[in-house]
Amino acid sequence: MKKLIYTLGFVASLSFVSFAQEHSANDGHNHGAATTASTAPVSTAEIKFDKMVHDYGEIKQGDNGECVFKFKNTGKEPLIITMCQGSCGCTVPQCPKDPILPGKSGEIKVKYDSNRVGPISKSVSVQSNAKSGTQTLQIKGNISAKPVEEAFPTNQPSQGAPLEKK
The answer to the question of residue 104 being in a domain is yes
Torsion region of 28: left, alpha or beta (phi above 0 gives left; psi -120 to 50 gives alpha) = left
The answer to the question of residue 107 being in a domain is yes
Cα 36 to Cα 155: distance, rounded to the nearest angstrom: 83
Residue 122: domain span: 47-144
Question: What is this structure's pTM?
Answer: 0.64
The answer to the question of residue 69 being in a domain is yes
Query: What is the reported pLDDT for 152?
Result: 60
The answer to the question of residue 19 being in a domain is no
Instruction: Render each residue's pLDDT in the chain as its tens digit; 166 residues.
Output: 666 666 666 556 655 555 544 444 455 545 544 444 455 567 888 999 999 999 999 999 999 999 999 999 999 999 999 999 999 999 999 999 999 999 999 999 999 999 989 999 999 999 999 998 899 999 999 999 987 776 665 666 566 666 666 6
Query: What is the reported pLDDT for 82?
Result: 94
- The domain total for the chain is 1
Q: Among 74, 85, 99, which residue's Cα sits nearest to residue 134?
A: 85
The answer to the question of residue 135 being in a domain is yes
The answer to the question of residue 123 being in a domain is yes
The answer to the question of residue 159 being in a domain is no
Domain of residue 135, CATH code: 2.60.40.10
The answer to the question of residue 68 being in a domain is yes
Query: What is the reported pLDDT for 43?
Result: 80
CB neighbours of residue 79 within 10 Å: 25
Q: Among 94, 99, 48, which residue's Cα sits nearest to residue 70?
A: 48
Q: What string of DSSP letters covers 70-91?
A: EEEE-SSS-B-EEEEEESSTTE
Are the beta carbons of 74 and 46 closer than 8 angstroms? Answer: yes
Query: What is the reported pLDDT for 153?
Result: 59
Are the beta carbons of 142 and 65 closer than 8 angstroms? Answer: no
Bridge-based pairing state of the strands 53-60 and 135-144: parallel
